[in-house]
Amino acid sequence: MSEQVIMYMMLISGGLFLAVIVAYMVLSKYINKSDAKYIKQLREGTKEKSFSMEMLYQKMYVYFVKIPGLKRYTMKLRRRLEIINIDDEYLIRKQTAKTMFFALLLLVPLTLLLVIATGKDLFLLSILIIFELLFIETVMEGFVDKVDNKLLKQQIDFFAEMRHAYHETNMVEEAIYEVAQNDELEVSRQAEKIYEILISDDPESELEKYYDIAPNAYLKEFAGVSYLTKEFGDRKVDKGSLYLKNVNNITQEMQLEILKRDKLDYVFQSLSIIAALPVVCIQPIKDWALSQFSFTESFYNGKLGLITQILIIMITFICYILIRKLKDNGTNRSNVNTENPWQNKLYKNIIGKKVIDVFLPKKGTKEYRKTTQLLKDSASKLKMEWLYVNKLCITILVFLVSLILFNQMHKIAIDMVYTEPTTDLDIVGQMSESNKKKGMEITLQDNYFLDKYRGKPKTTLIEIRSAVARSDYYEGATEEEIDEGAKRIYDKLQIVNSEQMQWFELLLSLAFAAMGYYSPGWLLLFQKKMRQLEMENEVMQFQTIILMLMKIERVNVEIILEWIERYSNIFREPITKCVNNYEAGAWEALEELKNDVSFLQFIRIVESLQAAVEKIPIQDAFDELDTERAYYQDKRKDSNERLISRKGLIGKAIGFTPMVVLFVGYLIVPLVAIGMMSMTSSFTTMSGMV
C-alpha cells in the first residue's frame, strides 16, 4: 500500500477520533431542537456550569440514533439496557451512548491498524473488518452483561436489607419501599416498580406485566413471593418467617448463579479472542514464509493459498459464533428485534413472499412440526418465515460468493504464470536480485508466446517449438535450449487455457449453497444441544420454586405449574401444554406432560405433582425437598461445576481449532510438502547430471 494512501487513512481516522470533541461544539447550536429540549427537561434541576460528560452522552445518543449505520447498534444496545434500567430514560441513554462512544474509540484505531497490516489485500481486509464488527459487538454485549451481573450482586445486598426492614415493619410493601429509598442503585428502581405493583388496584395483572420486563428470574420470584405473602399473609415455619425463608432461598439461588457466571466468564474470557486471532495472523505468517522461503511463493500467491485462506476464515467464523453461543450465561438477551426485522420486511414483499412460500413447509407436515419443535427447543426468537428468509438469503449469498471465488482463483493462477519469475526452486531464503531479474526476463519472453496462443487449446508442442525456433529471443540458441523453452511454454499454456470456469465448480458452488441453506438449522441444533446441558440446572430451579410455594396456604398444583412455566426455558413447551389442558383433567394433563419429557429428575417432579392432585397435600408430596435441602444445594453446586467443566472443554476445543488449522494447514504443511517436492526435484536433476 502506498504511503499516500496510508497518510489519507491516518488523516481520516484522526478526524473521526477527534469528532467527539468537535461534536460538543456542534451540538450546542441545536440545543433548541425538540430532542435537546427533552434532554433539558430530564436534566431539570441538575444544571452543570462547566463541561459535563453526562450531558455530552445525552447529546451523543440523539445523534447516534440518527446516523443510519450506528442506529441499528444503538437501538440493539438500548433494548437490553432498558430492561435493566426500568423507567429511567436518562440512564438508559447515558449507558447506551457511553458504550457506543467507547466502541467507536476502539473501532477507529483498530481499523487503521488493519488497513496498514493487510496492505493491498482487499479480500483479507474486508474479512477482517467483518470480524472487527463482530468483535466490537461482543465487547458491547460484554458491557451489558457486566451491568446485568452488577444488578444481580446488588440484589444480594437488597435482600439482606429487606430482612431487617421486614422485621421492623412486618409488612412486605413497606419493607420494600423503605429499602428502595436508601440509594439510587439499579436494584432500587426494580424495587420501586415492585412496590408500585403491590399497592396498585389490580396487582395481579400488573405483576403479569412485570414478569415480561423483569431483567432476571430472581426478581420475578421475589415479586411473586411478595405478592402471595401480601395476599395470603405470612406464617411461622420452624420458628421463623416463611416469607424471609423464601427470600433466603432466592438469595442462595442468586449466589450460585453469580458464582456460575463468574466461573464461565473466567473460562471464556480469552477464548473469543483466541478463536478470532488466526484471521489477523494470516498476512504476517504469509509475509514471513515468503521472506524466509521463496519457494513457497507459488503456494501463498496461488490458488492453493487462497483456498487455504478461505478455509481458515470459514473455520474461524464458525468457531467464533459457536464460542459466543456456548458462553451464553443465560442473561436476558432481548436484543433481537421481534417486531419488524429485515426478514419480516423481505417476507412482506410480494415477490419475496411468493419465493419464500415455495420453500416453507406446509402446516401439518412432518417437516413443519420438526422445524417448529427445533425453534422451540433452541429458544430461538425467529418465526418460521424468518428462518427460511435467512436460509434462502444465505444460500444465494454463498452461491454468488463461491462463483466469484472460483473465478478469482482462475485469475490468480493465470496471473502467477504471467508474473512469477521463471526459475528453479530455491530451498532457503529469498531469491537473489540477479536470479529474480533473469527469471523475469524469461517470463516476459514466455508471455509473448502465451499471448500468441492463448485461447487456442488445440495448440501442439511442435507448433510452439517451431515458433520458438523462429523467434528473435532464441536466435543462436542450441536445440536443447529450444526444446526446454518450448516445453516450458507449452506447460504454461496448458495452465492458462485450462483456467476457466468448469462444470464441477458450478456443482461445488451449488453444494456450498446447499450447506449454507442448512447452516441456520445446524446452528439451532447446536443451541439445542447447549440448552440440554442446562436441563439439570433448570430442574433444580423448579425444586427451589416448589420449596417456596408448598408451605404457602391456598397454593395448589395449578399455581405451581404456572410458576414453573413462568421460569422455565428448556421445558417451557410441554409445561405450557400441560397448563392449557389442566382444567380438562389434572391427572391426564400431568400424565401427558410426563410422556412429553424424558429427563428423569423432571419426571419425578411431575409424579409428585400427580400425587398432590388426588392423594396427599403438596407439602407431603415434596417433603424430601425440605428435609434434604442441604443435599440438593450441594448437588446444585456439583451440577454447576460439571456444567462449567463440560462447557470449558468444548469451548477450548472449538476456540483453539482455528489456531491449529492456521499453523498446521497454512504454515507447516506447505513448508514440508513444497520443500520435499523441491528436494525431490533437485535430487532428480542431480541424478540426471551424473
Question: What per-residue confidence (pLDDT) applies to 32?
Answer: 47
Q: What pLDDT score does 39 carry? A: 52
What average pLDDT score do residues 506-515 get? 91
Q: What is the mean pLDDT of residues 620-641?
A: 77
More reliable by pLDDT, 392 or 99? 392
Instruction: For residue 399, give the 3-state DSSP assignment.
Output: helix
Contact 252, 561 (CB under 8 A): no
What is the structure's pLDDT at 325? 79
pLDDT at 4: 55
Q: What is the model's pTM?
A: 0.71
- Concatenating the DSSP letter of every residue in 250-267 gives HHHHHHHHHHHHHHHHHH
* Model pLDDT for residues 60-91, shown as the tens digit of each residue: 888 888 887 777 778 878 877 777 777 677 88
Q: How many CB atoms lie within 10 A of CB 192?
A: 16
Q: Round the average pLDDT of the chain to a whole number and report it.
A: 79
Per-domain residue ranges of the chain: 420-498
What are the CA-CA distances from residue 557 to residues 278, 608, 618 (Å)?
Answer: 54, 10, 7
pLDDT at 347 over 60: yes
Query: Cell numbers of 275, please?
Result: 478463536
Judge whether residue 333 has pLDDT over 50.
no
d(CA 103, CA 101): 5
Query: Is residue 464 scored above 90 in pLDDT?
Result: no
Percent of the chain surpassing pLDDT 70: 85
pLDDT at residue number 43: 54
- Classify 240 as helix, strand or coil: strand
User: Given this model, what pLDDT does residue 517 score?
Assistant: 92
Arithmetic mean of pLDDT, 291-307: 80
pLDDT for 156-167, tens place per residue?
999 888 888 888
- How long a stretch of residues is the chain? 690
Sign of CA dihedral 166, 168, 169, 175: negative
CB atoms closer than 10 angstroms to residue 58: 23
CA neighbours closer than 13 Å in the CB half-sphere of residue 439? 16
* CA 139 – CA 619 distance, rounded (Å): 47
Task: Give 15-70 pLDDT, tens digit per residue.
Answer: 655 654 555 455 555 444 545 555 555 555 455 545 567 788 888 888 888 887 77
- What cell numbers appear for 469 in the block? 525456433
Q: Are 313 and 275 in contact (CB under 8 A)?
A: no
- Above 60 in pLDDT, residue 214? yes
pLDDT at residue 332 greater than cutoff 50: no
| Cα Rg of the chain (Å, integer) | 34
Q: What angle do CA 389, 390, 393 make, to 5 degrees?
A: 85
How many whole angstroms separate alpha carbon 491 and alpha carbon 494?
Answer: 5
- Which of 117-121, 455-459, 478-482, 509-513 bottoms out in mean pLDDT, i.e. has the lowest? 117-121
* SS3 of residue 17 by DSSP: helix
Q: Residue 3: is its pLDDT beyond 70?
A: no
pLDDT 10s digits, 651-665: 889 889 999 998 888
Closest alpha carbon to 359 in 522, 514, 523: 514
pLDDT recorded at residue 392: 92
Of the ranges 109-123, 365-379, 492-506, 508-522, which is most confident? 508-522
Band (pLDDT 50/70/90 cuts) for residue 377 is confident
Q: Is residue 241 helix, strand or coil? A: strand
Give the pLDDT of residue 670. Answer: 82
CB 613 within 8 A of CB 590: yes
